[in-house]
Structure 1
């Protein structure tokens, strides 16, 4: 908590708290005795995904937490049933987060206390200690952060940021119930008093009180080794709630049932969802033990899945948020940009995709961007404005002559690293060797079964790698910034860093797309990466189920939109 300096702001609070006399009935949309069983590879380890954002926790949070909206194909989609987010001042940059009328599953309303608690968590007030027992934020530069103002009805907060931020619509959430945190931190039984105690601790910057809240925030919501979690820690503000957590030795199972108190725009239709271990061959069990499963497309499972398609099972293939790319080390043989451009222009991405994808050719979508994904509106702008097609995406009239003009002798060897355990990378490498030879390049097989170790060792000239499509300015800098911790090529550009800084403070979606294209153009000019194709994920859906629309990307790709799921009569 030492990485944050707190500036108190006056607040007026009226906490709306009501206890229902009886348990609400299930939504009328729920069809009794219906169940959908999902083959799941996640693990539910914490009911506070803000403190522990592991994939399994994010999957569950998508079903049991309401929020102001979600990113879908790179665009923010608001959930007006939860509330609204509005910029109320440009200078200073101030955003109002205004709740509609959501309630927790114990019928305690969500209000400003819940939003303030979520804001404080995101601001670093409750950062956990690292493995050495030191404050994880101790070395961070203190950030002067004004405590948000709460409106008189305590259903909204207004946050004044030091500067505009691109992620303003999702910067505040309500990941855990403030009245539960207040009760556990301070022993306060009355929900109103518990909420007020949380507010006072944050407003006053009371380190002792904040330490107690931090202990609850980081530890109490963790699922025990026995799979147990107290009922108050499993309260839900989303369409479903956790009914049970179990482990039969083959893996963890989580049962979800409709939340009777949910007041969202779309209420659940199915009476129970069972997330169960996927097993070794989930595609073979859809229609029997499972109704839904997500798998990586491989040669081994293509025939099974093709047969399911012939029997009218739905097979939905969308990208998983990562892309395949051919990336260069801008040293050695590729020190000069002309040499890098000559090599990349000699390699048609379609040839690598065709050989790498094999029997799953239709599942791989080609791409021309390292920073955006096909299907998003941002991609259309980036693809048009980055200059990739002219600079690197159009084959040279004479690839051998272009190589010679770059000062590279015929037969020059290029050590290419790839993951020998990956079907796509192995196939793409074979194609790379063939097309590069036509232009006079000699490809050396530097493939490795321990890809990450070989990548870190750096004894390669080019690499066929699968990398995440960055979703935030921070992730762009990690991959492409001057000090990027996840940089593969080591390419740096002060102009790129400046553009990312500008992008991070852009609140207009159209301006943001234009800036993203400019950032992409700096990568194109560096000639260090050839985007190949998006990596697919296949969702197999039983004929007895409808309404499932998997989301692209990493975050909750299957459980997004779970309220729409239903069993076919």
Structure 2
């Protein structure tokens, strides 16, 4: 899953591709990833996962992106955006005239207006609870909402991001731009918006319109007229229409405006992308075909690289992975500290065992049993001898504010060490019997998480908790699904340096708030953070978030991921970024070597 956090460790920068670079015909690169793709819409709570957004990054273009410095870069070959006014906050977005989708339909204001409707939640039916329409087996929302209901599954909140753009943007006369006016200032306005999915495809599928331009106009008309019946149909298609786990029968959902386009997809095996011949931007790729193979086992990924079956891997690092990679001829290996941190979250509501974590004492008791130091010592230090337990949900270790936040939040007072005696007492205070079950969701295909589960299970049992294995290969789609689990073990990966981007994890209804957590004090802090420019005050507010999370026993952080990137001599130009999409950030710079060409 994805999360944007604050300052990160810098890394070397790969030079930008020279203008005029051309595709080398017949070249192909194969990348291994540890989770299959399942959604081309990474803006839904269901599809917001690294495995999806790696692919989406290659198939969709936008107004900006992060390089591996990391520094925000504008892509003015796609379009431009301009801060028109700070009070009120107004931003003008304009897409270049020649930018088009892979089916040669223009990318324009209709795409942006539908994305505004989705990300703002401006038309969402008030007080509608979609939980009963979520498939407990997959976590995916259905399209069978009550008649007249509008629900975009974007996690939109009225006090952050595009949720602050409560009135419909103004569409430029030429149909290629929109002017967005915020009701309040938003500190991360530059990160809040992109062009979105192909509006014509969504309208064609949802409304049965054949002509692409008529479909675009139908989107614009529905929004202008506030036609909730039509918007509800568009929302249902936006939510689920771009979810697929193999090559879809209707390939219109593969429509792309980025350097690459999906051309083949075999369930649980691989997804293939080819250079998009209708892409007109500056990020022209040099490799003709990229295939992402789904290899869930890290050691299997290493073997595939050594055998020449894949060319690039970025598996979860383990001592076995490091040992296997050392001294392998024809392979470059880079180590570092990644942008992802491991953590355990607890369900405040909608848990599998109802009410198990409804009390503060129960949550504190369970968190006290998490053997964080043992996990780091046994699983992480063999890779990074300097590894430490991470003690903040918002600050990366070593970043400005981290030490102060750890000292002030109270996390060391409560969870510096496992305390079985106190955990047992708190469980009893919560009125929970010995052997109370906690269903823990995690990736069943991830060996390191299996090891973490065993360590957690053994420790928690000493305090009277019975931690059961609720792991699944489809764990990502199940996060946030009601009635499926009681606690979850996974990693958040940073996507930006935006200061306000921590809010969606913890504010009521936020897209990354998968725990049904709600605290008015937290919401107030997040709302202030969203509009605060002063850096000292930002630090104070971020520290407040850490403090509130500890006081509420929201969950517990464990460690920062060690990262390993390895690639063969068939490709050059690979230099991973500390932010998502990590190794894919400069896919257009990947250059086939002579070895690649001769074998292609």
Look up the match of 1:314. Answer: 333
**Does the CA contact (< 8 Å) of 2:408 and 2:547 recur in 1?**
no
> CA-to-partner distance for each residue in 1:304-363, whole Å, 9 max, x for gaps?
23344x764324454363334799x9999979x9x99xx99xx99767522342532359
Partner of 1:409: none
Aligned-partner SS, 1:539: strand
User: How far 1:37 sits from its partner (Å)?
Assistant: 0.7
Q: Which runs of 5+ in 1 are unaligned?
A: 1-25, 404-412, 434-441
Give the structure 1 partner of residue 288 of structure 2: 271
- CA–CA separation in structure 1 for the residues paired with 2:22 and 2:235: 39
Superposed CA deviations along residues 431-460 of structure 1, whole A, max 9, x for unmatched, are x99xxxxxxxx97886654589xxx99xx9
Does structure 2 retain, via aligned residues, the 8 Å contact 1:126–1:213? no
Deviations 1:266-318 (A, max 9, x none): 3212121112332651211104111112322335444323344x764324454
RMSD across aligned C-alpha pairs, in angstroms? 5.4
Partner of 1:499: 525
1:357 has 2:380 as partner: yes
Once the two structures are superposed, the pairs formed by residues 296-307 of structure 1 within 5 Å of their partners are 296-307=316-327
Instruction: Give the structure 2 partner of residue 565 of structure 1.
Output: 590
Select the residue among 172, 179, 183 that pairs with 1:162: 183
Q: Is the CA contact (8 Å cut-off) linking 2:360 and 2:552 kept in structure 1?
A: no
Task: Give, in angstroms, the shift of residue 542 of structure 1.
Answer: 1.8
**Structure 1 residue 64 and structure 2 residue 59: aligned?**
yes
Identify which of 247, 263, 286 aligns with 2:305. 286
Counterpart in 2 of 1:476?
506
Per mean C-alpha deviation after superposition, the further-off stretch among 129-138 and 535-544 is: 129-138
Q: Describe the SS at the equivalent of 2:75.
A: coil
Paired position in structure 1 for 2:22: 29
Rate the CA distance shift 1:246–1:523 in 2: closer, same or farther, 3 A: closer
Aligned length: 506
Alignment-derived partner of residue 571 in structure 2:
545
TM-score, normalized by length of structure 2? Answer: 0.65
Relative contact order higher in (CA < 8 Å, ≥ 6 apart): 2
CA distance in 2, matches of 1:75, 1:512: 20
| 3-state secondary structure, aligned to 1:145 | coil
Mapped contact 1:368–1:388 kept (Cα < 8 A): no
* Distance in structure 1 (CA, Å) of the matches to 2:261 and 2:211: 23
Name which of 119, 136, 153 aligns with 1:122. 119
Q: Which residue does the alignment assign to 2:515? A: 486
Cα deviation per residue 1:366-402 (whole Å; 9 max; x = unaligned)? 5342223347xxx423x15425279666999xx99xx
Moved more, 195-204 or 280-289: 195-204
What is the distance in 2 between the residues matched to 1:186 and 1:527? Answer: 49
Residue 256 (structure 1) aligns with: 274
| Paired residues of 1:370 and 1:469 also in contact (CA < 8 A) | no
Determine which of 80, 90, 97 is the counterpart of 2:93.
Answer: 97
Instruction: Please give the alpha-carbon distance, in whole angstroms, between the structure 2 residues aligned to 1:334 and 1:486.
Output: 17
TM-score (norm 1): 0.68
8 Å CA contact 1:548–1:561 kept in 2: the answer is yes
8 Å Cα contact 1:314/1:542 also seen in 2: no
Identify the match of residue 110 of structure 1 among 107, 118, 124.
107
What residue ranges of structure 2 are gaps of 5+ in the alignment? 1-18, 125-140, 347-355, 423-433, 443-448, 473-481, 495-500, 595-600
